[in-house]
A = this chain, B = another copy of it.
Amino acid sequence: MLMQSKNAFENAELAVELTRGPCLSSVFRASSTELVETGQAICWEGDDAKHLFQIVEGVVRLHRIIGEGRRVITAFHFAGDVVGASLLGEFLFTAEAVTDCKIRRISRKNFHQEVARCDELRPAYIDLLCRENAAAHDQMVLLSKKNAEERLCTFILRLASRPGARRRDVLRVPMNRQDIADYLGLTIETVSRTITKLAARDVLVAQGRHDLKILSMEKLARLSGGADDFSAKTCHRVSIH
């Protein structure tokens, strides 16, 4: 039915309303959507940051290359997320589509004009910047003090906490092992081994390359190493149940 075909779209809008308030999303509403195929870049590290993007559908990774073949994924972004808000002059990352994506763009100039013009937009923008900062801090903690198992569990919890990411207890993991490894500061082999180990402990089971069946959210939360502001919340949520 109509509902069905409109669904992904509506979900994106909904996600936006829920996470950022209606405001920031409305800036993009006038722009037409562009299609970006899996693997294609949306913008490049070092380029002039002339645009901001909103992800309407799909998953995007942000990465930086350092030296010979070292890649760091600094963030994943999902439907409703805005990419490029926290930039001054140039892009500090390359953004690439992890899955086929629909995006909208707005020029940096227009964006800032809109933000300056509309009093309700400004707090939403500040809010976004602060959230990005908080996320970066959590990631610094993860990279600095967590072991492989804690990193993986934290990552899975983050994914699982997105509304609609789980269908029953099956979690969709759109990115491949290399993406996960580069995000968590590990190798592909360690990610793989850690998943196997978690399966042996009845925490979760891999079902194909892109699905994880979560057997125990409690164990996952306990193994995530805490103090990440997110897992703290999850712990809480879990212990209340």
Taking Cβ atoms with an 8 Å cutoff, the residues of A that contact B are: 64-67, 70, 72, 74, 86-88, 92-93, 116, 122, 125-127, 129-134, 136-137, 139-141, 143-146, 185, 225-229
Contacts and interface: CB of A to CB of B under 8 A. Distances in A.
A92 B137 contact: yes
Contact of A66 (B70, B129, B133, B145): B145
Contacts of A185: 143-145
Within the oligomer, what is the number of copies of this chain?
A: 2
A78 to B, nearest CB: 19
11 contacts: A65-B227, A66-B145, A66-B146, A66-B228, A67-B225, A88-B127, A88-B134, A116-B122, A125-B126, A132-B133, A145-B185
A64 B141 contact: yes
Contacts of A70: 145, 227
Q: Quick one: which of A64, A133, A140, A146 has the most chain B CB within 10 A?
A: A140
Contacts of A86: 129-130, 133-134
B133 A67 contact: no
A225 B133 CA distance: 24
Closest 6 CB pairs of A and B: A66-B227, A136-B136, A144-B185, A143-B143, A86-B133, A129-B129
Contacts of A127: 88
Q: Quick one: which of A66, A116, A125 has the most chain B CB within 10 A?
A: A66
Given A64-B227, A88-B127, A140 B141 contact: no
A141 B74 CA distance: 8
B133 A129 contact: yes
